[in-house]
Amino acid sequence: MVRRAVKYAEYLRISFLTMLAYRARYFVGISTYLIYISVNYFIWKAIFENSPQIGTYTFPQMMSYITIGWISRSFYYNRMETEIAQRVVKGDLALDLLKPVNFQWMQYSRTLGEAIFRLFLFTLPTYLVALIFYPVPLPHHLSTFIFFMAATFNAFMIFTTLNYLIGMFAIPLQNIEGLSYAKSNLMLFFSGLLIPFDFLPGIFKNIMMILPFGGISYIPLQIYLEKLSTSEILFNLSHQIIWVIVLHYLGQMAFRYFTRKLIIQGG
């Protein structure tokens, strides 16, 4: 068990170093999040121009929602599906299959390495810079913050397992650029990042609450804004975890299915 963990930790370390090797990408990354926060800030400011409260949100709440939403995204975001597709196209996937490690867990640990890197080098700096322009109040209770952290980790897991599943389609399709682009566009909305589900008409909101994607932004942000009771928080955290497990197994099944086909056809 420990030895296995060490093995995966090595992937984690390598991905960390790879991220550091590209400095432009790093500075660019931070600016990207600040741009998104800024665009949203001005739009929401204009929206709230004549009304102090819309639905259940005040302007400061809305700003916390957007700012924290984008800042957390800088933590959980990754492009695992593209990386998997690149390995498939280059033929590296065949090499990965020969290694004595589980491909799915290898991808997860690599991504976790990236996420830890992002936490320190994207999320925290972005947060500090954003604080200057868009001051976001901290939650009132420490417990809220801990629950928020847990929910954000789950968000990372949903995002990652979903990306893995999408990445699996590279095995039959090779090019999944369009698919990945479509996914990220849809996710902006379906995760609740662009606009809280509370702005949706009732039935749509209920659908969104059942789907796994709200676990990426909407659920953690509801926790952060202290709009949920403790039992509701626990319910939502388990909702996230159940979807992580489901997506994980879907990814595993997809891997088995597509690689079996690959082996039979000798692709």
Residues that bind another protein (CB under 8 A): 13, 16-17, 20-26, 28, 31-32, 35-36, 38-39, 42-43, 45-47, 49-51, 54-55, 173, 175, 177-179, 181-182, 185-186, 188-189, 194-195, 199-200
Of 41 and 127, nearer to another protein (C-beta) is: 41
CA distances (Å), 61 to each of 76, 80, 97, 195, 213, in order? 22, 32, 48, 12, 21
Of 23 and 140, nearer to another protein (C-beta) is: 23
Do 163 and 80 form a contact (C-beta atoms < 8 A)? yes
Of 13 and 260, nearer to another protein (C-beta) is: 13
Q: Quote the least distance from Cβ 165 to another protein, whole Å.
A: 16
Element housing 58 (H / E): strand 57-58
Do 196 and 246 form a contact (C-beta atoms < 8 A)? no
Of 174 and 238, nearer to another protein (C-beta) is: 174
With 0-12 / 13-18 / 19 or more C-beta atoms within 10 angstroms meaning exposed / middle / buried, residue 60 is middle
Q: Quote the least distance from Cβ 22 to another protein, whole Å.
A: 5
Q: Quote the least distance from Cβ 91 to another protein, whole Å.
A: 14
Q: Tell me the C-alpha distance between 201 and 206, whole Å.
A: 9
Q: Quote the least distance from Cβ 144 to another protein, whole Å.
A: 27
